[in-house]
Amino acid sequence: MKRFAPLFAAAAALAALCSSCTSINHPETTAMTIHDFTVKGRNGTSLDLATLKGKVLLVVNTATGCGFTPQYEGLEKLYAKHHAAGLEILDFPCDQFGHQAPGSDDEIHAFCALKYNTSFDQLARIEVNGPGADPIYVFLKAARPKDDATDEAIAGLRDLLKKHNLAGAEAPGDIEWNFTKFLIDKDGNVVKRFHPTTTPEEIDAEIAKLL
């Protein structure tokens, strides 16, 4: 057995090395948290989400010309109520759904600030579905493939979109539409995924539990 000892030692070392590897391109295969990502901010800035450890996060894909856009008012109320206790809102504008987020990042920010008096910032516009989906949304969808909503609510939105010839989710796990919301705990774990029809007011208690 002694002659095999070096082989066993080499195999153990290789296993230890592989266990420490992570890939931002395939987050579903590793024990990652949202804190492993860096996202793009407005004007070429970046935000390392590791700096938000210990915070509760609400991640939302938004649009300025959507029927759900008035939810910005509720999001701002959540932020005003819970920010001091540790809530951060990560607002990702997305133009994939009906092209309802036109304009530059700065124009989107100005709209939110003027129309809804938002005090949380907007990040750079991204894609959330398909081959161009931002890595953070690949991670979020893998962690929570389905909205925490009734089948009736999900079917109702899909029927409405179909009626207006609008395309939402096309593959399993896809984001259904604008204003899908992900709730993240202080350790960076995805706790819940809320349907676009679930209002910010309806998730207030869920946020409070994590603070």
Tokens of 14: 């290789």
Instruction: Decide if 112 is catalytic.
Output: no
Q: Is 181 helix (H, G, I), strand (E, B) or coil?
A: strand
Closest CA to 184 of 10, 39, 5: 39
CA 44 remoteness from chain centre: 20
CA distances from 197 to 53, 80, 201, 204, 206 (A): 29, 22, 11, 15, 16
106-137 burial, b for 16+ CB within 10 Å, e for fewer?
Answer: eebbebbeeebebebbbbbbbbbbeeebbbbb
Strand ranges inside 110-202, DSSP E = 181-184, 190-194
Could you say which of 21, 66, 94, 112 is catalytic?
66
Dihedral Cα 42, 43, 48, 49, nearest 10 deg? 0
User: Which residues are known catalytic residues?
Assistant: 66
